[in-house]
Amino acid sequence: MRHKTAGGAAVAAVAAAVLAPALRAQDAFTFTFAPAAGVVVRTLTETRTVTSFTGFPALPDGSTLEEERRIEGRHRAVGEENGMWLIEAVIDTVWSRRRLDQSAWRDVADSVPVKRPAVALVSSQFSVTGFRTANPADAEVFRPVGAMVAGLDFGFPGEGVAAGQSFPTGGRIQLRVRAAAETGVAVDETIFGDLVLTLDSIVRQDADELAYLRLGGALAPRTTSQQSEGGHTAGSFSGAFAGRLVWSRRWNAFVSGVARVRVEGRITAETPRGLVAASAVWDATVRHQVRP
């Protein structure tokens, strides 16, 4: 299967949209999720993660792992219930690949469910209040709806937001950081940060009204401690994130966005080779766009 890189034309279009200048900016914007029934919104989300390793027993210091992931999905309103929108989401295609130290790319299996629709209740403030199925994978299916950034607890404020104003969303940005056991020290943690948005500007273009948003902040520090048959493993993780999003009143969706998340981790572990002190840096860039 031939892959497109995360640095292709689609990414350039996302970056151009996010960085577009504000034209005829207005004073305030009221965020309201009111999708037209049956209208399909197609999304493309690409993630590129580069991990740098130091002190991992099975890798030379300075080794880097590159990972790319591409998700094509869609969602639509299929009805209303008690003032909430019934939104059906499905992931059409997903591929993932990786390479270590500039070796050949190889495809890897991805656990995201494909071609399996999920239905959620979504409020007029774009917050998920429940699912119509009990499948735990439903949450993952809906992440592209929120540009892989918003999270299920996300919600816009009920009142108008002035240009330059920041507001909490209740959502949390997240990054899963991993190192396979083959590196000599296994790592699998998820790091979170509270998502606060700042409205930079409001732009009217043709039949649409766009809200340009900025995000950034620190991830919550995390420490871990685990005892296993192989011995004791402890880790500490910290990081930060930054990015931009564009919300469209016409599409009732984030039509473009880019976010960068960086995590630093320090790990000590008892291994068959003795006590190991290792460190790693995970640097992920997420790019998202609506595809007409």
Lowest mean pLDDT, pick from 46-55, 67-76, 223-232: 223-232
Q: What is the pLDDT of residue 151?
A: 85
Write phi, then psi, for 7 (nearest 5 degrees): -100, 20
DSSP string, 55-109: S-TTS-TTEEEEEEEEEEEEEEEEEEETTEEEEEEEEEEEEEEEEETT---EEE-
Enumerate domains of the chain plus CATH numbers. 9-291 (2.30.230)
How confident is the model over 241-289, as pLDDT tens digits? 999 999 999 999 999 999 999 999 999 998 777 899 999 999 999 999 9
DSSP string, 232-253: EEEEEEEEEEEEEEEEETTTTE
| Phi-psi label, residue 117: left if phi above 0, alpha if psi -120 to 50, beta otherwise | beta
Mean pLDDT of 141-168: 94
Band of pLDDT at residue 12, cut at 50, 70 and 90: very low
Q: What is the pLDDT of residue 22?
A: 41
pLDDT at 24 over 80: no
Band of pLDDT at residue 26, cut at 50, 70 and 90: low
Mean pLDDT of 92-111: 94
* Residues 135/118, Cβ–Cβ less than 8 Å: yes
Please report how many Cα atoms fall inside a 13 Å half-sphere around the Cα of residue 164, on the Cβ side.
3
Mean pLDDT of 221-227: 92
pLDDT at 111 over 50: yes
Please give the residue that has the higher pLDDT: either 115 or 9.
115
pLDDT at 21 over 70: no
How far, in Å, are 49, 145, 151, 178 from residue 188 at the CA level? Answer: 15, 25, 20, 4
pTM over cut 0.85:
yes
Share of the chain above pLDDT 90, in %: 75
Band of pLDDT at residue 68, cut at 50, 70 and 90: very high
Q: What is the pLDDT of residue 227?
A: 82
